[in-house]
Amino acid sequence: MNNTVEERNMPKEEIPLSSRLWLGGADCMITTLCTIMTGGGLTFFFVNYFGMDAGWSATCWLLFGIWNAINDPLFGYISDRTKSKLGRRIPYIRYGSVLIAGVFVLSWVKWFSTGSNIQMFAQMLISLFFFDMLYTAIATSLYVMPYEMAVTNEARGKILFVKVIFGLVALAVPLVLLAELEHILEQSLLQFQIVMTVIGCVAGVVIFCSTFFYREKVRAEAEEQYPFMQSLVTCLKNHNFLVFEIISFSVTYIQTALMIGLSYYFEATGIGFVFCYAAMFIGIMIGMYLWTKPGARWGVKKSIVIMCVLFATGMLVMLIFGKYTWAGVAGFFCAGIGFAGGMYMVPLMNGDVIDYDEHISGQRREGMYAGVNSFICKPAISIANALFPIMLLWFGYDTQIAIAQQTETAKFGIRFAWLFVPVLLLYICAICISRFYSLDGSKWDQIKQGLAQKRTGDE
């Protein structure tokens, strides 16, 4: 966040605390549902509990990735052109909340009396299809809301700070649940299903109620939007957006991959997850101070480069020495700093990219940018879910025996499958952003000041 003289001279923006709290709560709930579903929960449920073949699971995720390629940009385009009394985004959040809660609850109920691979494949694919369609409508609308509500990084930062605090809940619930998934299912399937039902219903209620406490900019509703293909091509011509997509894709892959490997890692090493999680949340707290205070002086660009290097180095230590408690704790601590940066700094970077598009096009196209972002990044979820079990097999992992009884080579393979790609991606991000990202410095601050004055005048 570049809090320079130019930005301090921008019109003062104040977003009510109630709006920030409800937006953060809704974002927390939809993220929790998605992390459980796509962060390893559904795969573990079908493969490790119901006994679905890992190859069928990988195929399911790859087909799901194709659906994502169609779904996300199309919805972003539609939402930019939506006209209603509630606005462009809020209708999707309010009414989608009821439907997604129902889909989430039903995903953990066995639909067929028998358990063939084809039947489980069909249920898993249908669940993912409808869940993601609704998730895209809700999450995309929530994701772009800070850019609708404010233009300065100072005001957006206050919104995102609240979202990060709520994001700790969205992180903690899946972390604990996924780490203990095997034990919970061994005790009682009904108990597990009750937990999922409660989570789904609470999420639906919070998301629905939140829509009465924040508003979006109404001026953009009257704008003439580009045709679909022109809108898509214009996004892809924005070179800063393409640089942003490198970090956005990487963060999506990393968040998914780290969730997938949690239960495997703790079972394989015997390390208590309490110590690691405590270190991670301390890292998140330190990270929030780091990115909101020194990060305000460093700017978005420099902050993200530092975040990538810290995050990658911690993951590399855990990859090599992760069977020791000290390395696990150190790795999770660095992961906490990285998660804080991903939740706070990366959205600020995205906001700047969208602002730059407004500067050159004269239009607010948050929905299209969010859709194209999902088009590029959502396949990372499928790739992570498909790649992890495949990489395990490279090291002789035996799916027929318990995780703790695997060979030492297979246990190292768990860490490799879990952490190698995230480490590689983070170092690539640091290099690309430092060399090719240009929305930084006094010239960019002057552009932001002009946009803020324009927005104030239009209101």
In order of their start, the domains of the chain are 16-454 (1.20.1250.20)
Residue 113 burial by Cβ neighbours in a 10 Å radius (0-12, 13-18, 19+): exposed
Cβ atoms of 37 and 128 closer than 8 Å: yes
Answer yes or no: are the C-beta atoms of 3 and 302 closer than 8 Å. Answer: no
Q: How confident is the model over 380-410, as pLDDT tens digits?
A: 877 887 888 889 889 998 877 888 889 999 9
CB 125 within 8 A of CB 63: yes
Q: 67, 132 in Cβ contact below 8 A?
A: yes
Which position has the higher pLDDT, 396 or 374?
396
pLDDT recorded at residue 1 = 43
Distance CA 216, CA 331 (A): 39
The whole-number pLDDT of residue 324 equals 93
> Which pLDDT score, from 0 to 100, does residue 311 have?
94
Proportion of the chain above pLDDT 90, given as a percent: 29
Q: At residue 386, what is the residue type?
A: A
Q: Choose among 224, 158, 152: nearest CA to 456.
A: 152
Computed from CA positions of residues 239, 242, 244, 246, in that sequence, does the dihedral angle turn out positive or negative?
negative
How far is Cα of residue 448 from the mean position of the Cα atoms in its chain? 26
Q: What mean pLDDT do residues 317-342 have?
A: 92
pTM: 0.69
Q: What is the pLDDT of residue 225?
A: 62
CA distance linking residue 261 with residue 258, whole number of Å: 5
Q: What's residue 4's pLDDT?
A: 46
**Res 344: pLDDT:** 84
Higher pLDDT, 133 or 368: 133
Per-residue pLDDT band at 333 (split at 50, 70, 90): very high
pLDDT digits over 1-20, tens only?
444 444 445 556 678 888 89
Can you give the pLDDT at residue 144?
79
**Cα–Cα distance for residue pair 165/167, rounded to 1 Å:** 5
pLDDT per residue as tens digits for the range 245-301:
999 999 889 988 887 888 789 889 988 888 898 998 899 889 988 988 888 788 889
Phi and psi of 289, rounded to 5°? -65, -45
pLDDT in tens, 229-246: 777 777 888 889 999 999
The whole-chain average pLDDT of the chain stands at: 83
Average pLDDT over residues 372-381: 78
Residue 358 tokens, joined:
């407004």
DSSP 217-263: -SGGGGSPPPPHHHHHHHHHH-HHHHHHHHHHHHHHHHHHHHHHHHH
Residues contacting 186, CB < 8 A, separation 6+? none
For residues 328 and 230, the model is more confident at 328
Q: What is the pLDDT of residue 195?
A: 86
According to the model, what pLDDT value does residue 218 have? 47
Query: Tokens representing 314?
Result: 């911690």
